[in-house]
Chains A and B, each alone.
Chain A
Amino acid sequence: MTNASLGTLKVEIWRGAEEGDFETFEVPSQPSQTVLDLVTYVQRKLDPSLAYRFACRVGVCGSCAMTVNGTPRWTCRTHVQKVASSGRVRIEPLRNLPILKDLATDMAPFFDKGQEALGRFVPSDARASEVATIPPDDPKRKEANAAIECIGCGVCYSACDVVSWQPDYLGPAALNRAWTLVNDVRDGDRQGHLKAVAEDAGCHACHGHQNCVEHCPVGLNPTRSIAGLKRLVVMAALKGEL
């Protein structure tokens, strides 16, 4: 349903790579319109060469994050109404990641840091023929569960000033994942995860800004996870276990 009476939006979009400029487009307003829809409209109807990324369009793949009026967001789940200020929307690629083209960034550094933080399960009993019995109200399980549903969108990584000030910093998402593993009773190398986040650009570099918490679209709390890691890492270091 098109609704001409809703007027148009001025949409400023970053064009180019690291070097580039904003280009302004006029996009008709719709009652149901996400930021991703604005970008799609521009690519389909106004400038076919515009580059951006999305996949699921429902907030599970974490491909579509961009900076919208200065704030990193998942664009497929952000209604234009929520972000437009006096009919203007400014859309840029995520901060803290290399720009490939227009709105698409290279997310590899973000995932590389996940690995640096040993952000992967290390089996302790890979050949076991049964699934481990873990009561859901076990405190460790609860701790891990609270932090597990990360969609890897990079919004927190882009929102975190420490990442931009210390480019080596592992960042909120990688540390958050490490925290789930440290609390995973099935994991075979919990000490290994701690060691990984105790390296020079590890958990202790976080200053608790909480930009990550404020912006995580799925409501995770990386600050809490990082604080947990800091405690364990300090204890381990003082005990000489690292």
Chain B
Amino acid sequence: MKRLELWLYIAQRGSALVLAPLVLLHLGVILYAVSGGLSAAEILGRTRSTMLWPAAYGLFVVAAAIHAAIGLRVVVREWTHWRNRTLDFAALGFGLVLLLLGLRAVQAIA
């Protein structure tokens, strides 16, 4: 693809922008959850009461999959000798795995 690196860069920064508020939200949630001593049922009860939570976490998962896959690819390219096409596929694979795992988890709280 023409200017692949630039588009990956844009996707990575874009996904980071999406992640930032979601991570803040998530940090809030864990702080709340761990300090409130909530039980699993209570947590799930809340997350399942509205579609907003699964939607937010769904978005988080998609953004994180894009963001982390691209990020890892860059790190591997720069810090190892692995820099050919196979790396691109590996990164893509990593992103997909992340996405699947993530969606499964989101499904659990939905």
Contacts and interface: CB of A to CB of B under 8 A. Distances in A.
Size bin of chain B's contact surface: 10 to 19
Contact of A238 (B10, B77, B78, B79): B10
Contacts of A112: none
A201 B6 CA distance: 9
Given A162-B78, A165-B79, A202 B10 contact: no
A19 to B, nearest CB: 21
Contact of B9 (A162, A165, A204, A242): A204
Interface in B1-19: 3-7, 9-10, 13
A106 interface: no
Contacts of A233: 6
Interface in A191-242: 198-202, 204-205, 233-234, 237-238, 242
A198 B3 contact: yes
A209 B79 CA distance: 15
Most buried by A among B5, B6, B10: B6
B5 A204 contact: yes
A45 to B, nearest CB: 44
A160 to B, nearest CB: 12
Given A165-B78, A166-B77, A166-B78, A202 B5 contact: yes
A237 B7 contact: yes
B5 A205 contact: yes
A204 B78 contact: no
A95 to B, nearest CB: 16
A233 B4 CA distance: 13
B10 A200 contact: no
Q: Which of A204, A233, A234, A237 has the most CB of B within 10 A?
A: A204
A198 B6 CA distance: 6
B10 A199 contact: no
B5 A200 contact: yes
Interface in B49-98: 77-79
B78 A199 contact: no
Given A204-B5, A237-B3, 8 more contacts: A162-B78, A165-B77, A198-B6, A200-B4, A200-B6, A234-B6, A234-B13, A237-B10
Interface of A: 162, 165-166, 198-202, 204-205, 233-234, 237-238, 242
Interface of B: 3-7, 9-10, 13, 77-79
In the A-B complex, list the 8 residue pairs whose CB atoms are closest, starting with the nearest: A204-B9, A165-B78, A200-B5, A198-B6, A204-B6, A234-B10, A198-B3, A237-B6
8 contacts: A165-B77, A166-B78, A199-B6, A202-B6, A234-B9, A237-B3, A237-B6, A237-B10
